[in-house]
Amino acid sequence: MNCPKCNSEMMFGYVQSKHGIIWSAEVHEWFMLPNAKKGDVWVGGKDNCFSVLTEALRCPECKTIVVLPPVEKVE
């Protein structure tokens, strides 16, 4: 995939954290818990604040990172 910002080829990798990461349309000043009513979501697909491991692409030129949706495990 090419970078949506500068069109350079992106590198495959992972976004990782020992704590949860949220995506929100607004800046959270204090509490980093997602507000589902405003569309906030946990990055990585888990509905908790624990570890995150999800695939992502990084542009070596402009440093843009594109986080990919979590892969569903079939058990």
Helix or strand or coil: residue 24? coil
CA 24 to CA 36: how far, in whole Å? 9
Minimum distance, C-beta of residue 9 to Zn ion, in the bound complex (Å): 9
Minimum distance, C-beta of residue 43 to Zn ion, in the bound complex (Å): 20
With binding defined as CB under 5 A, does residue 62 bind Zn ion? yes
CA 21 to CA 7: how far, in whole Å? 27
Q: Which part of the chain contacts Zn ion (CB under 5 A), choosing from 18-26, 28-36, 39-47, 56-64?
A: 56-64
Binding site for Zn ion (CB under 5 A): 3, 5-6, 8, 59, 61-62, 64
